[in-house]
Amino acid sequence: MKEETNIQDREVVLQVKDLYKSFGDNQVLNGFNMQLHKGENLVIMGKSGSGKSVMIKCLVGLMEADRGTITVMHKDITKLNEKALDILRSDIGFLFQGSALYDSMTVRENLEFPLRHHTDISKDAKSTEQLVLNTLDSVGLANTIDLMPSELSGGMKRRVALARTLILQPKIMLYDEPTSGLDPITSKEIILLMQDIQKKYNTSSLIITHDVDCARVISDRMILLIDGIDYAVGTFKELSTSNDPKIKAFFKQDL
Ligand SMILES: Nc1ncnc2c1ncn2[C@@H]1O[C@H](COP(=O)(O)OP(=O)(O)OP(=O)(O)O)[C@@H](O)[C@H]1O
Ligand SMILES: [Mg+2]
């Protein structure tokens, strides 16, 4: 008989403990905790301005937390030097809020960029082209390889940004609002793509979203970030049927 492992029993690939971050008087994170397990889709929801992007930027070392520990694949990132941090970063794919493609580069150059920075493959033009094409193909956009970002729709840009992140085959994916600004059908396509990627590579994903549909479809577990802390943790079903007014508010209104 095949044994289903409980998500909670799986290896922890990313752990945040007691994270604090403030900007002047603005105390954004106030002792936030989370654990991401191998192969898990963990959704983080929180109101606009609650600190979701700040938290994710602390995770990849783009921002320095005031206090707390962040462990990525058993390594404390606050104790790593730039070089070690860089190596670790190549295992983490980060889809920024709003895509953030390099506007002056073609789609091909956008995808080559992380390869040049993190691998040796870019020295071999043929392998590079094949990898770029294959990765674009996995998001359904092989035909855009020589276009500029300005020639793409919002949904296509998001896919190319996703391809640029996937090209290094990260073990952990961090998505900051992957469906924001997209129409419901395109959002659904992106969600399906995220699910495909998770299945294909057994990636562990942290997904920040305020899209309740996205959370329902994709999450194994959810964390609600309220008042700078992990206010509630549970499955979509558990949280969406909660009687706590602060939790209920998330599932009733568009944030
Ligand atoms: N570099 C910065 N300097 C000063 N304050 C900042 C900086 N970055 C974020 N903040 C503040 O931190 C708070 C949290 O911002 P953050 O971008 O994390 O919100 P968010 O939860 O991602 O919101 P949204 O859903 O709108 O993306 C906000 O009050 C914001 O003004
Ligand atoms: Mg944000």
Q: Is the CB of 49 under 6 A from ligand 1?
A: yes
Q: Is residue 60 part of a domain?
A: yes
Name the least confident of 4-8, 122-126, 146-150, 234-238. 4-8
Among 54, 55, 223, residue to substitute to test ligand 1 (most atoms within 8 Å of Cβ): 54
Q: What is the pLDDT of residue 255?
A: 45
Tell me the CA–centroid distance for residue 50 and ligand 1, in Å: 7
Q: What is the pLDDT of residue 2?
A: 46
Among 20, 44, 53, 177, residue to substitute to test ligand 1 (most atoms within 8 Å of Cβ): 53
Q: Is the CB of 194 under 6 A from ligand 1?
A: no
Among 19, 27, 28, 44, residue to substitute to test ligand 1 (most atoms within 8 Å of Cβ): 28
Q: Is residue 89 part of a domain?
A: yes
Q: What is the pLDDT of residue 207?
A: 96
Which residue's alpha carbon is at the smallest distance from atom 5 of ligand 1?
A: 23
Residue 30's domain comprises: 7-241
Q: Is residue 87 part of a domain?
A: yes
Which residue's alpha carbon is at the smallest distance from atom 14 of ligand 1?
A: 51
Q: What is the pLDDT of residue 4?
A: 58
Question: Would you say 192 and 201 are in contact if contact means Cβ atoms under 8 Å apart?
Answer: no
Tell me the CA–centroid distance for residue 28 and ligand 1, in Å: 8
Q: Is residue 255 part of a domain?
A: no
Q: Is residue 137 part of a domain?
A: yes
Q: How many domains does the chain have?
A: 1
Query: Residue 124: which pLDDT band, with cuts at 50, 70 and 90?
Result: confident
Q: What is the pLDDT of residue 201?
A: 82
Which residue's alpha carbon is at the smallest distance from atom 24 of ligand 1?
A: 48
Which residue's alpha carbon is at the smallest distance from atom 27 of ligand 1?
A: 48
Query: Residue 84: which pLDDT band, with cuts at 50, 70 and 90?
Result: confident
Q: What is the pLDDT of residue 99?
A: 67
Torsion 86-190-97-220 (CA) sign: negative
Tell me the CA–centroid distance for residue 190 and ligand 2, in Å: 18
Q: What is the pLDDT of residue 90?
A: 81
CATH code of 152's domain = 3.40.50.300
Question: Would you say 218 and 225 are in contact if contact means Cβ atoms under 8 Å apart?
Answer: no
Of 178, 245, 244, which is closest to residue 213 (Cα–Cα)? 178
How far is CA 241 from each of CA 43, 127, 130, 207, 245, rounded to the nearest angstrom?
17, 50, 48, 21, 11
Q: Is residue 125 part of a domain?
A: yes
State pLDDT tens for residues 148-198. Answer: 999 998 889 989 998 998 898 899 999 999 888 888 888 888 898 888 888
Burial tier of 14 (Cβ tally within 10 Å: 0-12, 13-18, 19+): buried
State pLDDT tens for residues 205-233. Answer: 999 998 898 999 999 999 999 999 999 99
State pLDDT tens for residues 96-121. Answer: 877 689 999 999 999 999 888 877 77
State pLDDT tens for residues 34-78. Answer: 999 999 999 999 999 999 999 999 988 889 999 999 999 988 988
State pLDDT tens for residues 6-35. Answer: 877 889 999 999 999 999 999 999 999 999
Q: Is residue 179 part of a domain?
A: yes
Q: Is residue 114 part of a domain?
A: yes
